[in-house]
Structure 1
């Protein structure tokens, strides 16, 4: 099983188009050691030709251009994208679907009933696409039970409910429902190894912790370093938890959580432009290295 990280940043990417924080300004003028990142998405394949996208970011066209395997060119018009699975209905995870409208056949889309509802009402992407390629909706239930996505025959998927935030255009924004956000377990039947993927993770439940304990590779929420990060920089009035994210540092933070996990690789993804771990020579990046935690980057490839 091949895992290709298409994008590793949080919403807005890095640098964010309208942000002049130290990170974004520093990347633009070359005064910091860091690399640009597009908005988070990964792709999975068994054969290197047929891929399942996990989320479809607004940066999908650049991501496809940077990942030639997603365009295997078996016909005059062709794509290696066989299906898309959505973790939630957030703008930075779904609006790339609109860029796939030129498909000749309906796009297989896997998502919970809650996400499919949000994408037909509050942000009516599926309704828009009905005028183009169309969507073949495949509802999934976050109950931990296995399901499969063609053409990946040797890959077992299962989804579990996460405690996080639905998007602002969802009726569940302040009334969370199971299925607004999911964590994903992906197991290769060939290797027997499991990935746990959760780019948005507000806090841990017993079910989530058990899934993380059973994973060989963890790829989890790396949005903020501190709870008050956005407030301290004058970028928002909300702390990390109010945005549905568990910060890395401090008591109960993601570092502490990952320290008790047995996974062979622990990777942070969905990194906000404000996060100091984006600086390769920062004290915060050094702390992560001390704990055996990696920082995802666009183009990173992993074998499961």
Structure 2
């Protein structure tokens, strides 16, 4: 099984177009040892030719151009993207569907709450019906339970969706009434090698069933959005702490570093990194603290073999 990190940043990318925080300004000036990143998405393949796109970010066209494997050129019009899976209905994870409108009908795997949002609050599915069209494949997740499924073009790989504690997007009709499936984690099992990946770019709290799925994984690719709970408040960019935005920060008691310390995975990688997070500065003490605990930072183009 091969995984390519197409985009490793949180919404807005890095540097964010309108942000002059220390990270964004330093990256533009060339005074910060860091690398630009596009918005969060990964691709998974069993054979290196047919890929499951997991989240379709607004940067998808840039990501496809940077990833030759996604354009195998087997025909005059072709794509290596065999299907799309959505972890949630957040704007930075679904807008890229519009960029795929010139292709074939899109087999789209997502939960019922996400599908409802794509029909109503952010009706991309209705718009796409006038272009390529979408075939919805429901991920029937429930609180504390798992939904196991296969993607036909990815032979030998089994997927398991796990409901996460989260909120629907601001435009969702049920924003104030969270439902199982608003956000999922994904356990990916290569049945030939026996290896497993757990992917969760948005992880605000870790319920027992989520922790159990994480303990199964050989590789963890999880939420690296914020370093501290008050990161956006301290910078004057938001009045909300990390938890209110659905993200578990790396630092502090019970933070992501502590969580990852207690898990057996051989690789522990942070993804969906916000432009304000000091870990993006490769000379920062925060970056060194992660490295000292064996935690990696995802970057665009990162390849993982399991």
Instruction: Specify the alignment match of 2:282 in structure 1.
Output: 280
TM-score, scaled relative to structure 2? 0.98
Query: Once superposed, what is the RMSD of the aligned Cα atoms?
Result: 0.7
Query: Equivalent residues in 2 for 1:251-262 (5 A)?
Result: 251-262=253-264
Give the drift of 1:145: 3.3
Instruction: Specify the alignment match of 1:74 in structure 2.
Output: 74
Residue pair 1:248, 1:254 contacting (<8 A) in 2 also: yes
Query: Equivalent residues in 2 for 1:66-105 (5 A)?
Result: 66-103=66-103, 105=104
Residue pair 1:82, 1:150 contacting (<8 A) in 2 also: no
Residue pair 2:139, 2:147 contacting (<8 A) in 1 also: no
Partner of 1:163, secondary structure, is: coil
Instruction: Specify the alignment match of 1:26 in structure 2.
Output: 26
Residue pair 2:32, 2:281 contacting (<8 A) in 1 also: yes
Counterparts of 1:68 and 1:16, CA distance in 2: 25
Counterparts of 1:187 and 1:71, CA distance in 2: 25
Counterparts of 2:72 and 2:59, CA distance in 1: 19
Instruction: Specify the alignment match of 2:56 in structure 1.
Output: 56
Instruction: Specify the alignment match of 1:180 in structure 2.
Output: 182
Give the drift of 1:106: 1.0
Counterparts of 1:285 and 1:157, CA distance in 2: 32
Partner of 1:3, secondary structure, is: strand
Counterparts of 2:211 and 2:47, CA distance in 1: 31
Bigger shift: 134-143 or 79-88? 134-143
Counterparts of 2:67 and 2:211, CA distance in 1: 33
Give the drift of 1:174: 1.9
Q: Which runs of 5+ in 1 are unaligned?
A: none
Instruction: Specify the alignment match of 2:106 in structure 1.
Output: 107
Instruction: Specify the alignment match of 1:263 in structure 2.
Output: 265
Counterparts of 2:284 and 2:17, CA distance in 1: 23
Give the drift of 1:144: 1.4
Counterparts of 1:171 and 1:181, CA distance in 2: 15
Bigger shift: 226-235 or 172-181? 172-181
Counterparts of 1:166 and 1:9, CA distance in 2: 20
Instruction: Specify the alignment match of 2:119 in structure 1.
Output: 120
Give the drift of 1:172: 2.3
Residue pair 1:70, 1:80 contacting (<8 A) in 2 also: yes
Q: Which runs of 5+ in 2 are unaligned?
A: none
Query: Equivalent residues in 2 for 1:72-221 (5 A)?
Result: 72-103=72-103, 105-142=104-141, 143-221=145-223
Counterparts of 2:152 and 2:25, CA distance in 1: 43
Give the drift of 1:146: 1.8
Give the drift of 1:119: 0.5
Counterparts of 2:197 and 2:53, CA distance in 1: 15
Counterparts of 2:188 and 2:291, CA distance in 1: 25
Counterparts of 1:39 and 1:219, CA distance in 2: 15
